[in-house]
Chains A and B, each alone.
Chain A
């Protein structure tokens, strides 16, 4: 069970960050911004959460077992999956028109 928990921790962190940033974005845009987007503060908040989330993967990477056995490699790959997903799916906070 602990192994399974380790296996899903990286993707779970992605799921949490994805939901959190999507929710924050919805909340910020509902606050009555114009079509041009959020003011600097709200965008900085989104970027901040994203960066903090990326940093949060570091301890997970450290927790992941080392070694080349399959049961050691899988949790490591899983953390990388979570990290890659966080980078790719949430990078739009930096450049894309927000509201």
Chain B
């Protein structure tokens, strides 16, 4: 195959991974770090699979002199420990980098119910702005979402921006998002929550200016208390 053809194939493959809920099309640094973690682990896993299946295939044949310790200790213990140790280290390191911290990030609220989301952010005057199934966040800076639930357990997930975080009645959970650029991102409830589960979707709108001016955005917004 020629090089352009290869490049085309790779492009097709990558395009196949695209979609509004795809973790493989990240749109912020948090989701990007996790996506890199995935690609690295995928490459490693593919190599290991080929290696192990190669050993298996070579096993079919005449008996060979072989030392038990090479298999149980060399491969079983040390080889696997080395790989697993580096994967664990990478995972914890990325985890530490993307945790929510006390750094004055903008905070918004997400309240889940059967079956929908009520989001709240503060406008320029500090008044609470509520919206249903549409979350406003600033672009280009970290945002902490405080997640609560009205009834059963739900899960807040915007795959292009970050991993998911459950909404659990009686608790407040904190998830950190960051969108690189202004735009619209899809979100979905990831924890099974009853017959409306499949339809419990929402949209995240990342704004260049913050707090956003929503005066001309239709009737969905309500100011202050409902």
A residues near B (Cβ < 8 Å) are: 34-36, 92, 95-97
B92, A34: Cβ atoms under 8 Å? no
Counting from the closest, the 4 A-B pairs by CB-CB distance are: A36-B102, A35-B102, A97-B99, A34-B102
Pair A35/B92 contact, Cβ less than 8 Å: no
8 contacts between A and B (CB under 8 A): A34-B102, A35-B100, A35-B102, A35-B174, A92-B92, A96-B92, A96-B96, A97-B99
Interface string of B99-119 (1 = CB under 8 A from A): 111100000000000000000
Contacts of B100 in A (CB 8 A): 35
Bound-complex Cα distance A35 to B92 (A) = 17
Bound-state CA distance A95–B92 (Å) is 10
* Closest-CB distance, A98 to chain B (whole angstroms): 11
Q: Which residues of B contact A95 (CB under 8 A)?
A: 92
How close is A32's CB to chain B, nearest CB, in angstroms? 14
Partner of A36, one of B92, B96, B101: B101
**Closest chain A CB from B76 CB (angstroms):** 12
Main SS at interface, chain B: loop
**Residues of chain B at interface, number, CB under 8 A:** 7
Instruction: Quote the shortest CB–CB distance from A36 to chain B (angstroms).
Output: 5
Q: Nearest Cβ distance between residue A86 and chain B, in whole angstroms?
A: 15
Main DSSP-derived SS at the A contact region: loop
B9 to chain A, nearest CB (A): 40
Q: Report the minimal beta-carbon distance from A69 to chain B, rounded to whole angstroms.
A: 16
Chain A: CB-nearest residue to B84:
A88
**B99 neighbours in A (Cβ, 8 Å):** 97
CB-based contact A35/B96 at 8 Å: no
Contact between chains at A97 and B102 (CB < 8 Å)? no
Rounded to whole Å, the gap between the CB of A30 and the closest CB of chain B is: 12
Cα separation A96 to B99 with both chains bound (whole Å): 11
A37 to chain B, nearest CB (A): 10
CA distance A23 to B99 in the complex (A): 22
A66 to B28, CA, bound (A): 56
Kindly report which residue of chain A lies nearest to residue B85, judged by CB atoms: A88
**Nearest residue in A to B174 (C-beta to C-beta)?**
A35
A82 to chain B, nearest CB (A): 15
A36 to B101, CA, bound (A): 6
Closest chain A residue, CB of each to CB of B99:
A97
Closest beta carbon of chain A to B133's beta carbon, Å: 28
A36: nearest chain-B partner, CB-CB:
B102
A34 to B100, CA, bound (A): 11
Query: Which partner residue on chain B sits nearest A35 by CB separation?
Result: B102
B101-143 Cβ-contact flags toward A at 8 Å (1 or 0): 1100000000000000000000000000000000000000000
Contact with A along B78-108 (1 / 0, CB 8 A): 0000000000000010001001111000000
Q: How far is the CA of A61 from the CA of B174 in the complex (A)?
A: 44
- Nearest Cβ on chain A to B18's Cβ, whole angstroms: 33
Residues of chain B contacted by A92 (CB below 8 angstroms): 92
Residues 157 to 178 of chain B near chain A (Cβ within 8 Å): 174
B100 to chain A, nearest CB (A): 6
